[in-house]
Chain A
Amino acid sequence: MSIVKSSKIHPLYDKLTSIVGEDRLNDNPLIISSYSKDSSHLTDQRPGIVVMPTSVEEVQAIVNLCRETKTPLIPAGGRNGICGACIPRTKGSVMLDMVKMDQLIELNEDVMTVTIEAGLRWAELIRRLDEHGYKLGFRGPYGGNAATVAGSVSLNSMGYAASKFGPAPEGVVSLEIVLPNGEVIRTGSGWNPDAELFTRYSSFTDLTGLFIGDHGTLGVKTKITLKIYPKANHSTYADFGFTSLEKATTFFYEVQKRGLTEELNCLLAREAADTYFPGLLDSHPEVNSTLHCVFQEIDQQLAQRKLEIVQELAKEFEGKDLGNFAAQIHWAEIFNEVQPMYVNGFWLNTCHLRPIKRLPELMERMYEIFKKYRLEKNGIKWIADALGVDRSYSAAWITIFAPTKDKMELAEQAWNDMLNAALETGGCPYWTGLLWEKRALAKVHEPFIETYRTIKRAIDPDNILSPHVFGGV
């Protein structure tokens, strides 16, 4: 059923209609308006037409049509990323709204994997696995209520449980991908039609890795196979306070490298705690930075023992025991923590990766920028947070909030300096998109990006998939 009818002006309207029918595509400017942005303020071109496929066969047919007509094709997931990755760079693009492809295809308990369609959202997948007694490793980005698994994998997303399980791509065993030539391939052990999807690394080059973080430039992901784990019902929590960021990050590193925590979250400054969790440090005036630990195990004693080890470590590193309320709430409010911060204004983010030991250096630069632009006087609040990831690094996000539209210009000036500072102090963005792309391309080692472009030219000679991303071909 459709209420707002298509304008029928897109050149591929009729042919796309023959693939998906009239109700699952639309080129009316009103409908297109609702696909013009993600969760950032960044804009470029609007899609020319939006199509909602429901099967790999439909995706194949759309890809073939776009290739034959040399029409740009942009795969899009939940469209709530904050880097403008799903925003087309060219006019007249066909945007694939993948959220109708959201089925759980197979839960394979023998090999502990789950295969899902690309448009399934993280929170929904967690629920479906929970019903069967399983959990994911990496649980999803902070926007995991709406973010799709394929979207996150295409952007190297960071988020919940990265402390124990690493970023989104680490959980991937296999991908089903529609290539620009219309062929469908399965990566990992999927190269063998008689094999189950049980391992990513098998016999040949790791083709899975080629498509991870590709920002939709090399293929359209239609299925994803992820690792699963037995549900762990026993949790313990701890909050610690430190008088300085240096002390906090030293402790952060010591905990993270031991691999004890499911989730490890560091508030890098007292002001950040005031924005994120008002009142958290009212009773602790000496505390300037906090660390919040979540332990989750299949056995209570195990969860308790890990907590004790970290508590012992905290004593050694002068950490003040703050209880466990913030850590409990952090974990209970999974996927709901960022939204309440909108009350401070529209957000401008700097999400990126960096070694835990280089967090203080980042904050020094940030304080200089906050001072330069007199953020406090201008009512621009900020938060500085870092999530532990895989042994020794972190996903850092220093975010400022423009309280009103008229403060946006000033906030953007500060934000641009912040993005520069993040890269200059050794940060690497996990996603690129409109947020980071120009800065990343200005720094990238030419042979590195040329290797990618050689692959892109070989796979997508007509450059139909997400053209101009990563500087195009």
Chain B
Amino acid sequence: MAKVDFSNLEAFKDELWICGRCGDCSLADKTVASNRGVYHPCAVKNVLGFEAYSARGRTMIMNDLLDGELEVNQDVVDWAYTCTTCKSCQETCAATADGIRIPDMMEALRKDLFANGFTVDKHETIEDSILNQFNPYKEDHSQRTLVFGDRVFPEAADVVYFAGCTGVYREKEIVTTTVQLLDKIGANFTVLPDERCCGSVLLRIGRVKSFEKLTKHNIEAIKRTGAKTLVTACAGCYRTWKVDVPKEGFEYDFEILHITEYLDRVIQEGNVTFVSSENLKVTYHDPCHLGRHAEVYEAPRRVIESVENVTLIEMETNRRYAHCCGSGGGVKGTYGELADEMAADRIREAEATQADVLITACPFCHRGLRDGARLIDSNIRILDIPAFLLNAELGSVKSGPEGHPMKPIFMDYLAAHPKIFEGLKSGAVIDYEIDGDRFHVRVVGKSEIKVFPHRAENPDVELTFSPRAVETLVTFSSEDKYAEKFGYFFKKPTDEEWIRFNLRLNIVKLLMKGYRKFAQKAGLI
């Protein structure tokens, strides 16, 4: 058996050992039994069937590789690149504080395989192309800006629009519509004359040596524009800039926003509104890089829901438990047929909503979903969010829809009583709902909170209050009295006064995050 150095994978050996193989990552349907939106989390396993493709199977195989029980050969390489690293398994996993980190493990294994000389021919081509042409598609770098046509961009601007290779060379409509949309809403922006691949593909396939050079080049280029904000419509680029670049040790002083976050901000500030000329039912596919990897779930939804005459209908799996479309982790490039089958499954989910349009926010997803729709002859319209918005007219700026009257009162009350959240660790997030109207509280320091007027991206707990319960709670000047009554409404609810919990983290994780003290003050435990 060939000796293989697993120096990257070895770092995960304790975590691999601790996996109890409960199978939630493979077969769970938590939609009714425990009120979470999990349904058969692994989109790869859902197509290929065997346990080897689920996270549970992957931990067994990786343990066998580390223990020398399994020989490293081309089968292992082929298998290693079937994971989209979508993180759905990790979100489902309750075994550790973060969940068993399968995406990180698979990327570590890929690095080890590559370092030990096990390669996939297509990946050689991709890396060569990035090294020589600064894009993974073997396209001529000198032609990169042709996508913008005659549009002239300033050398300096507030915002840099980072278009990304897939947009520039394969999903050109996303780039052109994004530029048009930014123009339409009056954004002060520019593009990089010499933008290079963000390096996402290299990280995903375990070939990391060129990442540094690409990143340094792009950071310098952005700095030269004087921009304070980088906006991208590519979820892959977004994750790379927001999560991977800092993780790899690079610093930058500009803000990273996905186009959906940028638009959300502009809309929330009351500067822009959109009106659809037709009544539309739409659904939204969460790109894994934007959702699970960067925790942006609500901004795209708020943007879509802000468009007049548009109704958003959620697919069966959505937000943190949304099925992957199959285009990530290098799977689309390596196993196109598998990616198309996964996308087709996602299209079936979209069709089940009876929506007119399937909206997404990533060129990889957009491309993959179109291929999936083609595979099963689906006629559902698939649009990336800029194209969808460009179809809408700008509306007259007006104040947003009227919320529940108790919402601002409750928000003000909580903001004035941060002691309620005493004991919670920084980063704890609680979502509040009154009659469908939502806001959230984020703990930012010791007895220090911020109250946001919209739904949280990834809360620990969702609390639903009857309006009468809120009316009573906001009368207490004492935080202890508030907690006591809060507990009472949960333990002894009436038709008029009640509180319901939806725990987004399991109880052990919640208690470790500091919810124990509040639960005790409320007399819950």
Contact = CB atoms under 8 A, between A and B. Distances in A.
Interface of A: 1-5, 23-24, 26, 28-31, 33-39, 50, 52, 78-80, 97, 99-100, 121-124, 126-127, 130, 139, 143-147, 277-280, 282-283, 322-326, 328-329, 332-343, 345-347, 404-405
B47 A4 contact: no
16 contacts: A3-B78, A4-B82, A28-B75, A33-B52, A33-B69, A34-B56, A38-B21, A144-B33, A277-B507, A279-B511, A279-B520, A283-B520, A325-B491, A335-B30, A336-B24, A343-B508
Interface in B485-523: 487, 490-491, 501, 503, 506-509, 511-512, 516, 519-520, 523
Contacts of A326: 525
Contacts of B31: 127
A377 B183 CA distance: 66
Nearest to A28: B75
Contacts of B509: 340
Interface string B158-185: 0000000000000000000000000000
Contacts of A329: 503, 507
Contact of B22 (A80, A325, A328): A80
Given A37-B21, A39-B22, A335-B33, A146 B27 contact: yes
Which residue among B27, B71, B79 has the maximum number of chain A CB atoms within 10 Å of its CB? Answer: B27
B90 interface: no
Given A282-B525, A326-B525, 5 more contacts: A33-B64, A39-B22, A123-B29, A146-B23, A146-B28
A279 B523 CA distance: 12
A423 to B, nearest CB: 25
B341 interface: yes
B491 A323 contact: yes
Contact of A39 (B17, B20, B58): B20
A9 B23 CA distance: 28
Given A78-B23, A121-B27, A33 B33 contact: no
Nearest to B28: A145
A102 to B, nearest CB: 9
Given A1-B48, A31-B52, A127-B31, A323 B524 contact: yes
A280 B525 contact: yes
Contact of A4 (B52, B511, B520): B52
Given A35-B51, A37-B60, A279 B519 contact: yes
Given A39-B22, A145-B33, A3 B338 contact: yes
Given A34-B50, A34-B51, A39-B21, A146 B96 contact: no
B416 interface: no
B62 to A, nearest CB: 9
Interface in B400-457: none
Contacts of A34: 50-52, 54, 56-58, 60-61
A8 B511 CA distance: 51
A24 B31 CA distance: 28
Interface of B: 14, 17-24, 26-35, 47-54, 56-58, 60-61, 64, 69-71, 75-76, 78-79, 82, 93-97, 335, 337-338, 341, 487, 490-491, 501, 503, 506-509, 511-512, 516, 519-520, 523-525
Which residue among B28, B29, B51, B71 has the maximum number of chain A CB atoms within 10 Å of its CB? Answer: B29
B511 A277 contact: yes
A121 B79 CA distance: 27
A38 to B, nearest CB: 7
Given A3-B78, A145-B30, A325-B525, A333 B61 contact: no
A36 B24 CA distance: 17
A346 B20 contact: yes
Contacts of A334: 33-34
Given A124-B29, A332-B35, A405-B17, A341 B508 contact: yes
A85 to B, nearest CB: 14
A162 to B, nearest CB: 16
Contacts of A37: 21, 60
Contact of A346 (B17, B490, B524): B17
Contacts of A23: 49
Nearest to A283: B520
Contacts, number: 202
Given A97-B51, A130-B32, A405 B14 contact: yes
Contacts of B79: 3-4, 30
Nearest to B69: A33
Contact of A336 (B94, B96, B338): B94
A2 to B, nearest CB: 7
A134 B428 CA distance: 37
A34 B42 CA distance: 15
A80 B18 contact: no
B29 to A, nearest CB: 4
A459 B13 CA distance: 45
Given A3-B78, A146-B27, A325-B524, A278 B52 contact: no
A123 B22 CA distance: 13
B51 A1 contact: no
B121 to A, nearest CB: 15
A450 to B, nearest CB: 35
A70 B512 CA distance: 54
Nearest to B27: A146
Given A33-B52, A283-B525, A278 B516 contact: yes
B20 A339 contact: yes
A355 to B, nearest CB: 29
A335 B58 CA distance: 22
A124 B523 CA distance: 34
A30 B75 contact: yes
A339 to B, nearest CB: 4
A339 B55 CA distance: 15
A340 B95 contact: yes
B60 A36 contact: yes
A124 B49 CA distance: 17
Contacts of A33: 52, 57, 60-61, 64, 69-70
A332 B28 contact: no
Contacts of A338: 20, 22
B331 to A, nearest CB: 10
B60 to A, nearest CB: 5
A332 B57 contact: no
A24 B48 CA distance: 9
Nearest to A143: B22
A179 B30 CA distance: 34
Contacts of A325: 490-491, 519, 524-525
Which residue among A2, A144, A335 has the maximum number of chain B CB atoms within 10 Å of its CB? Answer: A335
Given A329-B507, A345-B18, A78 B75 contact: no
Which residue among B17, B49, B64, B78 has the maximum number of chain A CB atoms within 10 Å of its CB? Answer: B49
Contact of B97 (A121, A122, A277, A343): A343
Given A278-B512, A283-B525, A339 B24 contact: yes
Contacts of A280: 525
Nearest to B59: A34
A333 B23 contact: no
B524 A80 contact: no
A127 B29 contact: yes
B20 A324 contact: no
Given A4-B79, A29-B71, A79-B51, A332 B34 contact: yes
Given A23-B49, A30-B75, A121 B29 contact: yes
